[in-house]
Amino acid sequence: MPHTPLDPARLTVDLIRCASVTPEEGGALQVLQKVLTEAGFFCTRVDRGGVANLFARWGEKRAARSFGFNGHTDVVPVGDVAAWSVPPFDGVEKDGMLWGRGATDMKSGVAAFVAAAVDFVRDTPPDGAVILTITGDEEGDAVDGTVALLDWMEGNGERMTACLVGEPTCPERMGEMIKIGRRGSLSAWFTLTGVQGHSAYPHRAKNPLPAMARLMDRLASHTLDEGTAHFDPSTLAVVTIDTGNPAVNVIPAQCRATVNIRFNDAHDSAKLMDWMQRELDKVSEEFGVSGEMQVKVSGESFLTPPGALSDLVAHAVETETGVVPVLSTTGGTSDARFVKEHCPVVEFGLVGQNMHQVDERVEVAQIHQLKAIYARILRDFFA
């Protein structure tokens, strides 16, 4: 007897109504665990460091092949509630749109792949396993989210043959872009320390401000690369220079600055850190000030070369939308940067124009279309 298809839009509403602002679980994973357990998935919570995560598998643990989906149910804060046209956690549907925080990023994507997976295993049980990894920490530090899930999988003999991350990937039109890689990201905090003094007697002080200006200019004016086969040129942005000095007659003792680098596969973070340290040392010596640098690496660049996985996803997208997607590495970071250490991974999801904005919303029709794409991917993968 045929099963009633799982409505991804209705499931998205249920998820939006869970106020799961990072790191709060808000009940979202509980909603999904109930749905998946009833469909025959083995489910277990993989919570770590105060972060809630869910692992779900249909099929045998050591299946010869398995297809995975990855996503998150945590959302960014709503901002000014009074600026919203609808309450951000009500999941209101009007004018063919579904409104609420997480509607685009990415409760609709999670609902679409959960609905596709549930219908698929009920109607055409595959020769293999379907694995879902869903985190509550993608919008936060991401230390105990997808990383915790992958660590748990490694320790428990769970394996995905390939994985699709359901983040929004399309700039303006449904189906137009698949992400096959991402740039790396790092931030560096610099502190230059001199000697405080009177601005009328600069020879008695060691002013760190000109030194910092020189350092930031050297870093920002340097051409990191001209781009690579699948990536645009790497970029470095100076995001702040601070002294905290309100007095016009005082040369301050310290100056601080921060830069952010988005880098392609011509670099790794270690080489970039070495380069910045060399520049810092040069400026410190030149101006007679001391310098310190602290760095946080959010992720290395990675690429899943065009091939079987991207072809599989592209075929499903074109079949369901009539749009031929481009393969891209643009944008910020995502949890695909962690999954790529486990198995080949690509990203495909909705149009992301208003994610993180006030009045975040998604076309209801797109949610159903996304489910159809994910369902076709599963059918084709296990065909």
Lateral strand order in the sheet of 361-363: 92-94, 97-99, 361-363
Supply the CATH number for residue 14's domain.
3.40.630.10
Please tell me whether residues 272 and 323 are part of one structural domain: no
Asked if residue 223 is part of any domain, the answer here is yes
Asked if residue 1 is part of any domain, the answer here is no
* CA within 13 Å, CB half, 61: 9
Lateral strand order in the sheet of 326-328: 42-45, 53-58, 129-135, 66-72, 162-165, 345-347, 177-179, 326-328
**Active-site annotation, residues:** 74, 138
Supply the CATH number for residue 294's domain.
3.30.70.360
In this prediction, residue 94 carries a pLDDT of 93
Is residue 186 a contact partner of residue 269, using CB atoms and an 8 Å limit?
A: yes
- Of the candidates 299, 328, 350, which is a domain's last residue? 299
Question: For the chain, which residues score pLDDT lower than 70?
Answer: 1-2
Please tell me whether residues 282 and 336 are part of one structural domain: no
For the chain, what is the domain count? Answer: 2
Please tell me whether residues 64 and 200 are part of one structural domain: no
Please tell me whether residues 141 and 205 are part of one structural domain: no
- Of the candidates 299, 320, 351, which is a domain's last residue? 299
Which alpha helices (DSSP H) does the chain contain, by range?
8-16, 28-38, 107-123, 146-155, 208-221, 269-287, 308-321, 336-339, 364-382
Please tell me whether residues 76 and 167 are part of one structural domain: yes
In this prediction, residue 242 carries a pLDDT of 97
Please tell me whether residues 235 and 123 are part of one structural domain: no
Q: Quote the domain boundaries for residue 286.
A: 184-299
Please tell me whether residues 356 and 208 are part of one structural domain: no
Alpha-carbon separation of residue 13 from 18, 72, 120 (angstroms): 9, 15, 22
Asked if residue 2 is part of any domain, the answer here is no
The pairing of strands 181-182 and 302-303 is: antiparallel
- Of the candidates 299, 334, 360, which is a domain's last residue? 299
In this prediction, residue 1 carries a pLDDT of 57
Please tell me whether residues 340 and 285 are part of one structural domain: no
In this prediction, residue 249 carries a pLDDT of 97
Please tell me whether residues 375 and 308 are part of one structural domain: yes
The pairing of strands 66-72 and 129-135 is: parallel
Please tell me whether residues 54 and 124 are part of one structural domain: yes
- pTM for the structure as a whole: 0.91
In this prediction, residue 331 carries a pLDDT of 87
Rounded to an integer, what distance in angstroms lies between the CA atom of residue 367 and that of residue 109? 7
Please tell me whether residues 176 and 223 are part of one structural domain: no
